[in-house]
Amino acid sequence: MMWAVYGITFLLFVQHAASYNILVLFGHMGKSHYDVFKPLFQELGERGHNITILSHVKTQGDIKNSRDVLLSNVPLVNHLDLKHFTQSHLQRYTEVAFLAYFSDFACNSSLQSEELQKFLQEDQHFDVILAEFFNSNCLYGLITKYKAPFIGLSSCAMMHWHPRWFGAPDNPAYVNSIYMAYPAPMSFLQRMENTLMHLVNIFWYKTYMEQPGREYSLKYTGFEPADPHQASLLLVNTHYTLHGVQPLTPAIVEVGGLHVTNKKPKKLPEDVERWTNESTSGLIYFSLGSLIKGHTFPEGQLGAFMKVFSKLPQRVLWKWEEQTMKDKPDNIMLTEWAPQYDVLCHPNTVLFISHGGLLGTTEAIHCGVPVIVMPQFGDQRMNAKLLEKQGAGVILKLLDATEETITEALTKALSKVTRQKAKELSNRFRDRLVSPLESSVYWIEHVARHKGAKHLRSEAIEMPFYQYLLLDVIGCLLIGILALLYAARKIGLLIVRTCCGGKKKKLL
């Protein structure tokens, strides 16, 4: 009898702990995008799920039950030159073309990958597919091929074309463009520009990213890309404590901080650990992220930073790919690479100087460290504005930086008020009912359990645009109102004529 009870318990446990075959499609070549979701892949592996990851980043054997299918061996790291970014207002309009360029570049190399072509010849079955939703659909032919429910992953705030895929409101009157970063409430001209940016970006995606992606998919996989409107869910790397309140459908789940909320700081590399521990007046960490070549820093601004830093009591740890730096003062240590999260969460770290990438911004918020932001492209301008709005960041325009403006930014960022605001933002950001990692795993398993979870879909997804915008209803009401006004006018004229005509007869 006892063995029967054990057997039933075991079977129930096995049923509850079902393992799924999960396919991950990560087409963008930027390593930072992949790094946001890597802890999720690790957690899924720990829970016994089998994961096949198509990406440009090698797993390094630290994800259980996983298999790599490399789309290339060249993730974008230290690739971009600072001189390419003018930081002008015009740049905001050209960045969608920049995205389209990277889309074409990544699709062309990814789909010709020898490993991918071999993989496509295999007989595979998947219970759920995780696909990056960013700037291309060229890998979505695999979703069509395997006929599995799929979930979108976005490592940044939603792009202009994302909300409509899930039936979420995307009204540019109050939903800010990822490139504009205008403060709310927006003025008339800002709302007009925000609307134009919204429409231009959607047009550009459909014309120069979605359509070429379809052609690449048909050519190299033989399948039409899956329609993103059919996605079950979107896990997006945002949180309302930073990005503000935005109306979302149940199929859009905010998981901002996914890569840090369950993570404990580790011991730093020996040289960095020594430098940081000995920074008794505080450490300033300086990094422009994984994409930008730090040594392409403008020479004039570099000299200004050197002079200002030389006068500080704090030490500086600077991510710099070269072994030397001209006129480097003694309180600066150069490092080709540093474990950023561990540095930012070190008790001696008092400031982060950054380009404003969401990965580093999220880590700084989690660790409660104020930020001086020098945004260059993409969502960095918006992240900078959001930090500034929360009082936890200071914006510095790199190309206009002088000793005076750098000193002013440092003074404000290191002030007691800004440091306190950073701590308060950190407390709000970390105060969750469940961690974003646990939430992400739950929703992925939920979609797999319920065969696509169609109950999460908004009715708005299938509606034609004229119905969604109530254009037919508004048109009908306008016609009705005009008809009533016309009838009222006719009746009024008839009454006037009748009354006036009767009076004239009496007078005669």
pLDDT value of residue 299: 86
% of the chain at pLDDT higher than 90: 71
Q: Is the peptide bond before 163 cis (omega within 30 degrees of 0)?
A: no
Confidence of residue 262 (pLDDT cuts 50, 70, 90): confident
8 A C-beta contact, residue 285 and residue 352: yes
pLDDT value of residue 13: 44
Q: What is the mean pLDDT of residues 257-271?
A: 91
pLDDT value of residue 180: 85
Give pLDDT tens digits for 327-341: 899 999 999 889 999
**What is the third-level CATH fold of 18-260+434-462?**
Rossmann fold (3.40.50)
Amino acid symbol at 228 = P
Measured in degrees and rounded to the nearest 5, phi and psi for residue 281 equal -95, 0
pLDDT value of residue 415: 97
pLDDT value of residue 9: 45
Q: Which of 138-152, 340-354, 373-387, 417-431 is predicted with the least confidence, judged by mean pLDDT?
A: 373-387
Asked whether the predicted pLDDT for residue 14 surpasses 50, the reply is no
pLDDT value of residue 296: 77
Instruction: Copy the structure tokens of residue 308.
Output: 């200002």
Give pLDDT tens digits for 130-143: 999 999 999 999 99
Q: d(Cα 117, Cα 111) in Å, to the nearest integer? A: 8
Q: Which of 359, 252, 355 is nearest to 36 (CA)?
A: 359
Task: Decide which of 5 and 280 is more confident.
Answer: 280
Q: d(Cα 352, Cα 287) in Å, to the nearest integer? A: 8
Give pLDDT tens digits for 213-261: 999 999 999 999 999 999 999 999 999 999 988 899 999 999 999 999 8
Report the CATH number of the 270-430 domain: 3.40.50.2000
pLDDT value of residue 194: 94
Asked whether the predicted pLDDT for residue 16 surpasses 90, the reply is no
Per-residue b or e along 466-494, where b marks 16 or more CB atoms closer than 10 Å to that residue's CB:
eeeeeeeeeeeeeeeeeeeeeeeeeeeee
pLDDT value of residue 390: 95
Task: Decide which of 169 and 226 is more confident.
Answer: 226
pLDDT value of residue 84: 64
Instruction: Copy the structure tokens of residue 490.
Output: 């006719």
Q: d(Cα 287, Cα 77) in Å, to the nearest integer? A: 13
pLDDT value of residue 15: 41
Asked whether the predicted pLDDT for residue 10 surpasses 50, the reply is no
Confidence of residue 377 (pLDDT cuts 50, 70, 90): confident
In 119-266, DSSP assigns E strands to 128-132, 150-154, 233-236, 252-254
DSSP code per residue over 387-448: HHHHTSEEE--GGG--HHHHHHHHHHHTSHHHHHHHHHHHHHHH--SS-HHHHHHHHHHHHH
Q: Which residues share a beta bridge with 24? A: 53, 130
Per-residue b or e along 173-192, where b marks 16 or more CB atoms closer than 10 Å to that residue's CB:
eebbbbbbbbeeebeeebbe
Q: d(Cα 470, Cα 480) in Å, to the nearest integer? A: 15
Measured in degrees and rounded to the nearest 5, phi and psi for residue 121 equal -85, -10
Give pLDDT tens digits for 395-437: 999 888 999 999 999 999 999 999 999 999 999 999 999 999 9
What is the chain's mean pLDDT, rounded? 90
Any idea how long the chain is? 508
Amino acid symbol at 406 = I
Q: What is the mean pLDDT of residues 163-172?
A: 92
Q: What is the CB neighbour count within 10 angstroms for residue 244?
A: 15
Give pLDDT tens digits for 21-41: 999 999 988 888 999 999 999
Confidence of residue 81 (pLDDT cuts 50, 70, 90): low
Question: Max alpha carbon distance in the chain (Å)?
Answer: 116
Q: Is the dihedral of CA 278, 270, 263, 259 positive or negative?
A: positive
Asked whether the predicted pLDDT for residue 71 surpasses 60, the reply is yes
Q: What is the gyration radius of the CA atoms in the chain, in angstroms?
A: 28
